[in-house]
Amino acid sequence: MVGGGAALVALVVAAGLVVADDGPADIAVPYGCGSGGAHGTAGTSSTPDGPAPDRTAPDGVADFDGDGHPDLALGSMGDVPGGYGGGSIEVAYGAGDGTRIARCQYLTQDDAGIPGKNRDEAFFGTDVVARDLDGDGYTDLAASVFDWKPSVIIMWGSESGLSRAVRVPGTDVSHVSWDNDPILDEQLAAGDFDGDGHSDLVFGLGSDKGLLKGPFGRDGTPAATDRVPAPRRPAPDVDTANYSDLVAGDLDGDGSDDLVSFHDADTGPEVPWREATQPVSYLRGGRDGFTQPEGTRIPDAGEGAIGDVDGDGVDDLVLSPRGGDASRSSVTVAYGSEAGPGERTTTIDRDTPGVPGDEPQDEDAAFVTLDTGDVNGDGYADVVAGAPRWDVYGKPGPEQVLFLAGGPDGLSGAGARLFDGDDLGAAPGGDADFGSAVGLTDLDGDGHADLVVTAPGSDTVDGVAYLLRGTADGLSDTGVTRLSGDTFDDTEGLGLLMGGGEVAH
Ligand SMILES: [Ca+2]
Ligand SMILES: [Ca+2]
Ligand SMILES: [Ca+2]
Ligand SMILES: [Ca+2]
């Protein structure tokens, strides 16, 4: 803090009381991990319009405190004291030294700086995305919440980390017309959908105001709003089709990010795998708003991620296929091109040369989380896919994360590796939910993306997030960093929380 900081802080706090109606206080500042309870008050907060950070982390990497070391945030939709399903966010500030974490922050709506109030089923932080939303050089964190109605809360990055928060005003809560569950619908995506160089948010498919354009004001107001079309009804006989995920990236290489949504069509209880209908919708971003190109063919899938797997400069869509003849443990890449995704596809399954393990027979072996990032540093995006087992009817199989490498010809089995939760110390028997969320981000800036994998646990098993280092040979399972509830706070019961929502990085 420079000289005169105290006066400056006093001024800023006073100004903040006027500006931010529903989050007047500062968020409790980050603290030394594992020390729990040592939450300071906000005496060292930087100014809302303070100086830009001196050092910047690489593009596309979250750095909430602007110290040049990448950070990450784990959305945890689980219980918090006083809120069954209240939700929390665990923020880990990178030390720039392997996967070591320098500081921690535990965010709930009980924090005086976070708008709203922790309560049952608020699901604060179920979905989190990290972007610089106001263009001040500090990465900000946006989170979805269901405070009786769905809305978005932005936590602003600053020299002292995430320090202030606002609720985006006037969030429209209209939904896809053939949908009936507003809670499940509140998925958040970040990208530059109009190609103007500012990060935007999407919150609400089929909403006239679902596209929230950046830069955002400090009171949370977007620069403008625009409509997000409702995806086409997947089939005439489908009554409802909640969307389970939204991902963003530039799949046609035109400089505007596109939006892909994943739908779980309700075609009846306990539909056999072959008859499952999980359509994928593609909305093309552009200067003049979203359009729905005719004829884009994307295979049914339950989950996706976006990255340039074949290194041709255009993002590719990575999918976890569902239904029909698809393997229960496979990854399909719908390569991006000027015409959009899906002109060419590759599928990797357990029969692909180089891929370890046998084809599982249980349906819950399917990958439910995916991410992309360049782990081995060869310039091609690599893929991780997580398969937690949560089938309560049978004996669950191993909970695993599969690593697949990209290359000039796209995704292949060469260099593939399987990580078992058991081998990393996760509770066996399907209770850990190892692989519930995965993220690839270069935590120490050495050019190799590192793996974040969460095992949110259960009523009896504490949640843990594992951080595995990326190397030229892929992911390493030596020197693994483990983050548990106690890492963030030693409040009784918090140990059962960790991850389960998205990983923002
Ligand atoms: Ca940082
Ligand atoms: Ca910012
Ligand atoms: Ca590509
Ligand atoms: Ca690579």
- pLDDT given for residue 20 in this prediction: 41
Cα of 409 from ligand 4 centre, angstroms = 12
Task: Name the closest ligand to CA 475.
Answer: 4
Distance of alpha carbon 291 from alpha carbon 361, whole angstroms: 39
Task: Name the closest ligand to CA 63.
Answer: 1
Q: What residue type is assigned to position 407 of the chain?
A: G
Tokens, residue 239 = 């009554």
Task: Name the closest ligand to CA 406.
Answer: 4
First to last CA, the chain: 27
Tokens, residue 410 = 């796209």
Question: Looking at beta carbons, which pairs linking 14-20 to residues 24 or more positions away fall under 8 Å?
Answer: 15/48, 16/48, 16/164, 19/48, 19/218, 19/219, 20/164, 20/165, 20/166, 20/218, 20/219
- Sheet (strand 301-307) strand order: 301-307, 316-321, 331-334, 345-348
Cα of 383 from ligand 4 centre, angstroms = 8
Cα of 12 from ligand 2 centre, angstroms = 17
Alpha helices, H only, 349-452: none
Structural contact between residues 275 and 288, judged by C-beta atoms closer than 8 angstroms: no
- pLDDT given for residue 173 in this prediction: 59
Cα of 334 from ligand 4 centre, angstroms = 17
Structural contact between residues 161 and 64, judged by C-beta atoms closer than 8 angstroms: yes
CA neighbor of 210 nearest in space, from 229, 191, 192, 223 = 229
Cα of 299 from ligand 3 centre, angstroms = 17
Q: Mapping DSSP to helix (H, G, I), strand (E, B) and coil, where does residue 145 land?
A: strand
Cα of 311 from ligand 3 centre, angstroms = 5
Whether the ω angle into residue 428 lies within 30 degrees of 0, i.e. cis, is no
- pLDDT given for residue 204 in this prediction: 81
- pLDDT given for residue 108 in this prediction: 92
Tokens, residue 44 = 């060292």
Cα of 255 from ligand 3 centre, angstroms = 14
Residues with a beta carbon under 5 angstroms from ion ligand 4: 374, 376, 378, 380, 382
β-strand partners of 226: 211
Cα of 380 from ligand 3 centre, angstroms = 9
- pLDDT given for residue 460 in this prediction: 79
Q: What is the pLDDT along the chain (505 residues), one digit of tens a residue?
A: 333 434 444 444 444 333 444 556 899 999 988 843 333 333 333 344 456 776 666 667 999 999 999 999 999 877 777 778 888 999 999 999 999 999 999 999 999 999 998 888 888 988 999 999 999 999 999 999 887 778 899 999 999 999 999 999 977 655 444 444 444 456 899 999 999 999 999 988 878 888 999 999 999 999 999 998 877 765 555 556 677 789 999 999 999 999 999 887 766 667 888 888 888 989 999 999 999 998 898 999 999 999 999 999 999 999 999 988 999 999 999 999 999 999 999 999 999 999 998 888 777 789 999 999 999 999 999 999 999 986 556 677 889 999 999 999 999 999 999 999 999 999 887 788 999 999 999 999 999 999 999 998 877 788 899 999 999 999 999 989 999 888 887 666 666 666 678 899 9
Structural contact between residues 70 and 445, judged by C-beta atoms closer than 8 angstroms: yes
Cα of 248 from ligand 3 centre, angstroms = 14
Cα of 71 from ligand 1 centre, angstroms = 5
Task: Name the closest ligand to CA 474.
Answer: 4
449 sits in which H/E element: none
- pLDDT given for residue 441 in this prediction: 96
Distance of alpha carbon 498 from alpha carbon 462, whole angstroms: 8
Strand-pair category, 164-167 with 224-226: unpaired
For 412, how many CA atoms within 13 A lie in the half-sphere containing its CB? 10
Cα of 372 from ligand 3 centre, angstroms = 12
Strand-pair category, 164-167 with 149-156: antiparallel
Cα of 121 from ligand 3 centre, angstroms = 39
Give the list of residues 6+ apart from residue 113 with CB closer than 8 angstroms, or none. Answer: 23, 25, 26, 27, 28, 42, 163, 164, 165
- Sheet (strand 450-455) strand order: 437-441, 450-455, 464-468, 481-484
CA neighbor of 250 nearest in space, from 334, 321, 337, 189 = 337
Cα of 167 from ligand 1 centre, angstroms = 23
Tokens, residue 153 = 């809360």
Phi and psi based region of residue 424 (left: phi greater than 0; alpha: psi -120 to 50; beta: remaining): alpha
Cα of 64 from ligand 1 centre, angstroms = 5
Q: Mapping DSSP to helix (H, G, I), strand (E, B) and coil, where does residue 97 land?
A: coil
Cα of 155 from ligand 2 centre, angstroms = 9
Cα of 63 from ligand 1 centre, angstroms = 4
Cα of 369 from ligand 2 centre, angstroms = 27
Give the list of residues 6+ apart from residue 294 with CB closer than 8 angstroms, or none. Answer: none
Cα of 407 from ligand 4 centre, angstroms = 7
